[in-house]
Amino acid sequence: MNSVPAQHARILSGMRPTGRLHLGHYHGVLKNWVELQHEYECFFFVADWHALTTLYDDPSSIPDSVMEMVIDWLAVGVNQGEAKIFIQSQVPEHAELHLLLSMITPLGWLERVPTYKDQQEKLKEKDLATYGFLGYPLLQAADILIYKAGLVPVGEDQVSHVEFTREVARRFNHIYGRETGFEEMAEQAIKKMGKKSAKLYNRYRKAYQEQGDQSALDAARALLDSQQNITVNDRDRLFGYLEGSGRVILPEPQPLLTKASKMPGLDGQKMSKSYGNTIALRDDPEVVEKSLRTMPTDTNRVRRTDPGDPDRCPVWQFHLVYSSDGVKTWVQEGCRSAGIGCVECKQPIIDAVLQELKPIQERAKSFEAQPDLVRSILAEGCEAARDMAQSTMVEVRHAMSMNYR
Ligand code: TRP
Ligand code: SF4
């Protein structure tokens, strides 16, 4: 279905600027980014225009939030040598693609995106009956398609946006990928690959089209990816020709579902700033220690001599994230027999969290002290992102007859 083969995928993900991040972000998203950057070509960006869709009435906090968030990304090990890190609004091509895609996007598709009604209900006090808010999944589609990303790491709540992106890409390719003489041009392009590759391509294409052989399709795509001597347009044609459609100008991305983080908040609910139950990555060690010491435990365990039940205790959730099997057994047995007290039970958690945060906080301090370094990292990431975005826009403008001279 015109999607990019996973092993060659480029990865793109974005985050709204929310200021300083907490352990929920770290365990839920950032650790995953740090791993992915070693395996794939990664683009990670700050979705500042997305922030405007809900914060339009008071955007003054956005710039600080952006900087604080990027410092936390760098502090946990998102690395400018491995990933491109940039700010969405500094690559204005996203806006151009959003505009051009808006021409072909049916209103009903946007109204049916589940987050549209959900968020409006959640943020009732805000007027979100705006053009920008309705269009925000399309802006996200532009964010993804402009880099021809193959994989988009997202949480469950964002999968519908990636699905929507696939539909938009499919519609775009359907409308603009049909050129007169497509088959002849594709056949010409095959020849340009050289005898050996051409033969392989034809064999794979036949195996896929006649027997639906998926591995042949993957192999053909890998073959196309490795071709040095054909143009981008020819390559897009040959991707499309594999499946008999038209030219694939914007490939369809796949969601890369991030497993829900087990990281609970201090009260056992999901860790979130709006619940006031967070441990921020840059909280002082004394604050971290105090937050953990005062966090609630099994409410049925009133006295030290009462036995408790870890299943009713948020501290146990922390043990699941941080503790070895040995410690976990110690908690289970000690709690249920009133053999250990809650203060004792929390100590290994306090140690583990402080140990986890220590190197992060050291790196954060160093970036805080060098704002110019952070700015130059962003500038460099932005430049690389723009290069790629501009080259996609050349193709898109051409496909939509918006290339003059
Ligand atoms: N909408 C995402 C969120 O609210 C952020 C985002 C914007 C994004 N553009 C993106 C995520 C592109 C992945 C890919 O969390
Ligand atoms: Fe919770 Fe540990 Fe106290 Fe049991 S001993 S109630 S698991 S803090």
CATH number (domain holding residue 301): 1.10.240.10
pLDDT-derived band at 345 (thresholds 50, 70, 90) equals very high
Query: Do 26 and 107 lie in a common domain?
Result: yes
Residues 81 and 148 in one domain: yes
127 and 256 belong to one structural domain: yes
**What distance in Å separates the CA atoms of residue 17 and residue 273, rounded to the nearest whole number?**
13
Q: Are residues 113 and 215 in the same domain?
A: no
The total domain count for the chain is 3
Mean pLDDT computed over 3-22: 83
Q: Which ligand is nearest to the CA of 152?
A: 1
Same domain, yes or no: 300 and 390: no
- Mean pLDDT, the chain, whole residue set: 93
pTM of the model: 0.89
| Interatomic CA distance for residues 151 and 134, integer angstroms | 24
Instruction: Identify the nearest ligand to the CA of 315 by its number.
Output: 2
Q: What is the pLDDT of residue 236?
A: 86
Answer yes or no: is 247 within a domain.
no
* CA–centroid distance, residue 322 to ligand 2 (Å): 15
Report the nearest-CA residue for atom 11 of ligand 1: 14
Identify the DSSP state of 264. B
Q: Convert the pLDDT of each residue in 243-264 to its tens digit.
A: 877 889 999 999 998 877 778 9
CB-defined site of ligand 2, < 6 Å: 297-298, 301, 308, 310, 313, 315-316, 331, 335, 340, 342, 345-346
> CA–CA separation, 329 vs 327, rounded Å?
5
278-307 average pLDDT score: 96
Average pLDDT, integer, range 352-379: 98
Name the residue of 66, 154, 163 whose CB sits within 8 Å of the most ligand 1 atoms, as the mutation to test its pocket. Answer: 154
**Do 122 and 212 have their domain in common?**
no
Task: Give yes or no: residues 310 and 388 share one domain.
Answer: no
Average pLDDT over residues 203-227: 91
Query: What pLDDT is recorded for position 34?
Result: 97
The Cα 29–Cα 264 span in angstroms is 14
Mutate to test the pocket of ligand 2, among 312, 335, 343 (most ligand atoms within 8 A of CB): 335
* Phi and psi, residue 83, nearest 5°: -130, 155
Say whether pLDDT at 6 is over 60. no
Q: Which domain holds residue 363?
A: 282-368
Strand 10-15, strand 254-257: pairing:
unpaired
Write down the residue that tokens 């099994």 correspond to.
298
**Residue 189 shares a structural domain with residue 207:** yes
Split at pLDDT 50, 70, 90, the class of 3 is low
Residues 376, 360 share a domain: no
Do 123 and 167 lie in one domain? The reply is yes
What's the pLDDT tens digit per position in 64-102? 999 999 999 999 999 999 999 999 999 999 999 999 999
Give the atom of ligand 2 at the shortest distance from the alpha carbon of 340: 5
Q: Is the CB of residue 16 below 6 angstroms from any atom belonging to ligand 1?
A: yes
Predicted confidence (pLDDT) per residue in 32-73, tens digit: 999 999 999 999 999 999 999 999 999 999 999 999 999 999
Contact between 53 and 315 under an 8 Å Cβ cutoff? The reply is: no
